[in-house]
């Protein structure tokens, strides 16, 4: 998906957005879904999605269009029911000349069900994912999860959620990953810009996510590095990682690196020689500052 959409006017309503997509991108959307009826349903779902979250209209129009086209490229419908993908508003930090400014932008985020859909398309034979609650019977021995749920009990009677796991079977071989609730929430708070347990539109809010799919998704993303991937799964992970707080840090680090490189290029030969002399004669007992570790997505 091309991130460089030419400047367009701000959308005033969800209908103006859908009309713009219909006028300029309907052929691409038809190709993504390989079905004209599904393409038209997608446009209708976009209108409904923005009605549910009107704050999206405050985002830059380019980011809104790009996000929904990325969703279409994945073959997902905007829907809180399917849980395959979301378009969410973010207050991002962007470089504007010499200054950093706050910009409201829409971002496409893959949901847990979206990853499940893509895994089945990639050839997974079976996917099991559950939330473990305090009163459940469970054990995890040598990589095998045994989890017993009393179907006659409500979630409240089963107790508070204490963890989540996912088991996938590929070519007959099962693989399981488990995380407890403390680690899941700590990971979300540290890395996800959308993390807000009380946010009206946050996918982490239990009111918006009663099945705790964000918990399941967090476990999956820790497990995915050990699973076979294909091009579209790699693309989905790349797009979803834009929700990461580290994405902003990477952009900032890149800008700082480019600024430092340009400053060095503009130095005169005498200035470079002077710095080399100072470095060679630096007091060896003086502690040198530690360089920052390379940033990686978790």
Q: Is the predicted pLDDT of residue 5 greater than 70, yes or no?
A: no
Average pLDDT over residues 32-50: 95
pTM over 0.85: no
pLDDT tens per residue, range 82-103: 889 999 998 887 777 778 888 9
Same domain membership, residue 224 and residue 189: yes
Domain count, the chain: 2
pLDDT bin (cut points 50, 70, 90) of residue 207 is very high
Average pLDDT over residues 244-255: 51
Tokens found for residue 291: 């360089």
Establish if 92 belongs to a structural domain.
yes
More confident residue, 281 or 220: 220
Same domain membership, residue 146 and residue 75: no
Average pLDDT over residues 275-297: 39
Establish if 243 belongs to a structural domain.
no
Establish if 205 belongs to a structural domain.
yes
Give the residue numbers spanning the domain of 50: 14-112
Q: Is the predicted pLDDT of residue 133 greater than 90, yes or no?
A: yes
- Using the 3D structure, point to which of 228, 262, 285 is the last residue of a domain: 228
Same domain membership, residue 78 and residue 142: no
More confident residue, 293 or 155: 155
Same domain membership, residue 127 and residue 108: no
- Using the 3D structure, point to which of 207, 228, 249 is the last residue of a domain: 228
Mean pLDDT (the chain, rounded): 82
**d(Cα 231, Cα 180) in Å, to the nearest integer?**
30
Same domain membership, residue 223 and residue 165: yes
pLDDT at 272: 54
Average pLDDT over residues 259-268: 49
Phi, psi torsion values for 166, nearest 5 degrees: -135, 135
Same domain membership, residue 194 and residue 138: yes
Same domain membership, residue 224 and residue 131: yes
């Amino acid at each position: 998906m091309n991130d460089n959409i030419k400047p367009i006017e701000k959308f005033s309503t969800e209908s103006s957005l859908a009309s713009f997509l219909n006028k300029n991108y309907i052929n691409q959307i038809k190709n993504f879904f390989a079905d004209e009826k599904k393409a038209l349903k997608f446009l209708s779902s976009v209108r409904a999605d923005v009605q549910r979250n009107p704050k999206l209209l405050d985002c830059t129009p380019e980011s809104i269009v790009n996000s929904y086209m990325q969703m279409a490229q994945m073959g997902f419908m905007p829907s809180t029911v399917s849980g395959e993908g979301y378009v969410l508003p973010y207050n991002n930090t962007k470089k504007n000349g010499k200054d950093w400014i706050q910009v409201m932008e829409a971002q496409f985020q893959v949901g847990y069900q979206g990853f499940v859909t893509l895994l089945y398309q990639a050839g997974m034979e079976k996917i099991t994912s559950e939330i473990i609650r305090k009163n459940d019977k469970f054990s995890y021995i040598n990589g095998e999860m045994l989890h017993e749920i009393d179907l006659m009990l409500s979630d409240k009677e089963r107790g508070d959620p204490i963890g989540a796991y996912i088991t996938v079977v590929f070519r007959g071989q099962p693989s399981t990953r488990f995380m407890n609730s403390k680690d899941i929430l700590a990971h979300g708070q540290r890395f996800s810009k959308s993390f807000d347990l009380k946010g009206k539109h946050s996918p982490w809010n239990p009111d918006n996510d009663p099945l705790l799919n964000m918990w399941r998704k967090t476990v999956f993303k820790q497990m995915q590095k050990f699973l076979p991937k294909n091009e579209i799964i790699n693309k989905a992970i790349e797009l979803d990682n834009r929700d990461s707080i580290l994405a902003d840090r990477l952009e900032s680090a890149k800008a700082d690196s480019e600024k430092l490189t340009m400053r060095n290029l503009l130095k005169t030969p005498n200035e470079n020689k002077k710095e080399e002399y100072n470095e060679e004669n630096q007091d060896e007992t003086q502690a040198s500052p530690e360089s920052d570790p390379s940033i990686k997505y978790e």
